[in-house]
Structure 1
Amino acid sequence: MLEALSYDFIQNALIAGIIVSFISGIIGSLIVVNRMVFLAGGIAHASYGGIGIAIYSGIPIFFGASIFAVTAALFMAFITINQRERIDTFIGLIWAVGMAIGIIFVDLTPGYNVDLMSYLFGSILAVNRDDLYFMGSLFVLIVFIVTFWYRDILAVSYDSEYAALRGTNVKFFYTLILVLSAFTVVVAIKVVGLILVIALLTIPIYIAHNLSSSLYSMMIISGLIATVFTVIGLWMSYSFDLTSGACIILVSALSLMIFMIVSKIK
C-alpha cells in the first residue's frame, strides 16, 4: 500500500476518505441522536435524481445531486414537522421517485453509457481535485456551523421540548440538521455509494456512542473510527482489486460484530 501512495489517484482517495469520514462522524452522530436514519436513507436514494439530471444537462455531479438532495431534505423537514403521521409514506415516495427520475434522465442522455455501479457502490478512486475542494469546503462549513450553534443543536437533539421552552427555534435547527445531512450524503456517495451510505453514517457512530460521554466526543471518536475503517477498506480494495465502497462497509460491519462480541463478554 505504501508504494501506491505515489499515485495521485490513491492520494486523492485517501484524502477524500479522511474528510468524508469526519463529516460522517459529525453529521452521523446528529442523525442517530435525532433518530433521522430513515430520513437520511430517503435523502440518499432521492439524490440519485439529481445525479441523473446532472448527467443529462452536463452540470457537475456534486452540484446536481446537492440541489436535489437539499430539496428532498427541505420537503422531508416540512412533512416531518407538519404531518408526522404520514412521514413513512412520503419518505418512501421521495425515495422511489428520486431514483426513478435519475434512471430516466440517464436513459435520455444521448451517447452516454453511465456506470451505475460507481454511484450505487462508490468510486472513491475516481475522486479528483475539484471533488476534494468541495469536500474540504463542506467539512469547514459543517465544523463552523456545529461549533457556532453547538448548544442549540445539543438541546434540540436531546430534548426539543425543553429547547423550545428556552426560546430555541427547534424547526430551524431540525431543518438545518437535515440539510447538512443531505450534503453529507452527497459526498459520502462518492466514497461508498448511495446503497451503502447509511452504513457509513451509523456503524462508526454506534461504536462511538458506547465509548463516549458527550455528543462532542461522540463526533470526534466516530470520525476517527470511520477514518480507520476507510483506510483499511482502501487497502483491501487496492490489494485485492475489489470495490472500495463495499470493502469499507465490510470492514465496518466486521468491526461492529467484534466490538459487540467483546462488549458482551465484558
Structure 2
Amino acid sequence: MDWLLDPLNYDFMRQALMAGVLIGVLCPVVGTFLIVQQMALLGDVVAHAVLPGLAIANFLQIPLLLGAFISGMISTFVTTWIQTQSKVKIDTAMAITFSSFFALGITLLTTLKSRLDLEELLFGDILGITVADVWQVGLITVAILIAVKFFYKELLFFTFDRLGAEASGLPVNAINLGLMTVITLAIVAGMKTVGVILVMALMISPAAAASLLTTELHWMMMIGSGLGVLSSLIGMYMSYFLNIPSGPAITLTLFVCFLLALLFSPSQGVLTSHFSMAKGQNSLD
C-alpha cells in the first residue's frame, strides 16, 4: 500500500489527482456529444482557437480563462458562419478556423511579447495546479454536469435527430449554442491540467472507447467518465514513479483503454468478432 499512499504525502500530487479526476469526469461527458455527432474535430478547433484569447488576456491583464472562453466561442461562430455562407463543408470550415486561429495565437504571443509559456499552454502543467485551480475546475464541472442533466432529453433529441428536433419546435439554435458553450468551458477547464492539445485526448478517447462498449448515450457518458478518471489516476501515478511528463502519461493511458475496447468489445471488438465468427463456423461444421 505504500506505493499507493506515498504520492498523497505531497500537496501538489493531491491537487493534481483531484484536478485529474474532475477533468476525467467532465471531458468524456462533453466528448460523447462530439463523437455521436461525428464532430470530434470541432473540439480540436476550439482547443487551438483559445490561444489568441490567452495572448490578448495576458496583454490586457484580465483573467486568462475569460480570454480563452471568448476566443473559443468566436471560433465556433466563425466555423458556423463559413459553413452557412458558402458551399464549404463543415470539416473544411473547421480546418480553416483551426489553422487560422492557431497561427493568430502564435503571432499574438510573439508580437505582444507575452510571458506565457507556450509549451505549458499546449501540454499543460498538472503538477502546478493550485487549490484555487481545483475549485475553478470543480465549479465548471458541477455546472456543466447539472446543465447536461437538466437538458438531457433536449440534448438527446438534438444529438440524434436535429431535423426532427427542429420540426418538433425545439430551439435548435439555442441548444447548439449551449452545446458549443459547454464544449468551450470543458476545454478551458482542462487547459490548465493537460494543455489545449492533450485535453482533446481526454475529451475524445474515453468517449470513443465507450461508444465501442455501448450504444446508449447515458451509458457512454458514464463509461467514458469512468475511463477518464481511471486513466487520469494511472497516468499520474506513472508520472510520479517513472518520472515522465504527466499529460502525455495520461494520454497514452487513454489510448491503451481505447485499444483494449477496440480489441475486446463484446459487440464490436476486433478479436472478439473474429472469435465469434470462428466459433460460429465451427458449430456449422
Using the size of structure 1 for normalisation, the TM-score is 0.91
Counterpart in 2 of 1:265? 271
Counterpart in 2 of 1:42? 45
Check conservation: 1:164, 1:170, Cα contact below 8 A: yes
**CA deviation after TM superposition for structure 1 residue 107, in Å:** 2.3
Counterpart in 2 of 1:91? 94
Check conservation: 1:45, 1:99, Cα contact below 8 A: yes
1:125 paired residue among 122, 127, 132: 127
Change (3 A) 1:38 1:110: closer
Q: Distance in 1 between the 2:66 and 2:163 partners?
A: 36
Partner SS, residue 85 of structure 1: coil
**CA deviation after TM superposition for structure 1 residue 153, in Å:** 0.5
**CA deviation after TM superposition for structure 1 residue 123, in Å:** 1.0
User: Cα RMSD between the aligned structures?
Assistant: 2.0
Counterpart in 1 of 2:276? none
- Amino acid in structure 2 at the alignment position of 1:11: R
**CA deviation after TM superposition for structure 1 residue 70, in Å:** 1.9
Instruction: Spell out the pairing of 1:194-205 with structure 2 (5 A cutoff).
Output: 194-205=196-207
Check conservation: 1:204, 1:225, Cα contact below 8 A: yes
Partner SS, residue 196 of structure 2: coil
Counterpart in 2 of 1:183? 185
The answer on 1:215 being equivalent to 2:221 is: no
Instruction: Spell out the pairing of 1:27-106 with structure 2 (5 A cutoff).
Output: 27-80=30-83, 83=86, 85-106=88-109
Unaligned runs of 5+ in 2: 273-285
2:234 paired residue among 219, 227, 232: 232
Check conservation: 1:77, 1:175, Cα contact below 8 A: no
Q: Distance in 2 between the 1:122 and 1:204 partners?
A: 19
Change (3 A) 1:29 1:82: farther
- Amino acid in structure 2 at the alignment position of 1:219: M
Partner SS, residue 2 of structure 1: helix
Partner SS, residue 59 of structure 1: coil
Unaligned runs of 5+ in 1: none
Change (3 A) 1:126 1:166: same
Check conservation: 1:70, 1:183, Cα contact below 8 A: no
Check conservation: 2:19, 2:134, Cα contact below 8 A: yes
Q: Distance in 1 between the 2:248 and 2:159 partners?
A: 31
Partner SS, residue 244 of structure 2: coil
Deviations 1:14-72 (A, max 9, x none): 11111111111210111111222111111111111112222323333222211211222
- Amino acid in structure 2 at the alignment position of 1:167: G
- Amino acid in structure 2 at the alignment position of 1:166: S
Counterpart in 2 of 1:25? 28
Counterpart in 1 of 2:118? 116
**CA deviation after TM superposition for structure 1 residue 223, in Å:** 0.5
Q: Distance in 2 between the 1:140 and 1:4 partners?
A: 26
Change (3 A) 1:78 1:172: farther
Q: Distance in 1 between the 2:30 and 2:229 partners?
A: 14
Counterpart in 2 of 1:254? 256
Q: Distance in 1 between the 2:163 and 2:123 partners?
A: 39
Q: Which has the larger radius of gyration?
A: 2
**CA deviation after TM superposition for structure 1 residue 79, in Å:** 4.1
Query: Alignment length, in residue pairs?
Result: 265
Deviations 1:199-240 (A, max 9, x none): 221111122122234211211110111000010011111112
Q: Distance in 2 between the 1:259 and 1:253 partners?
A: 10
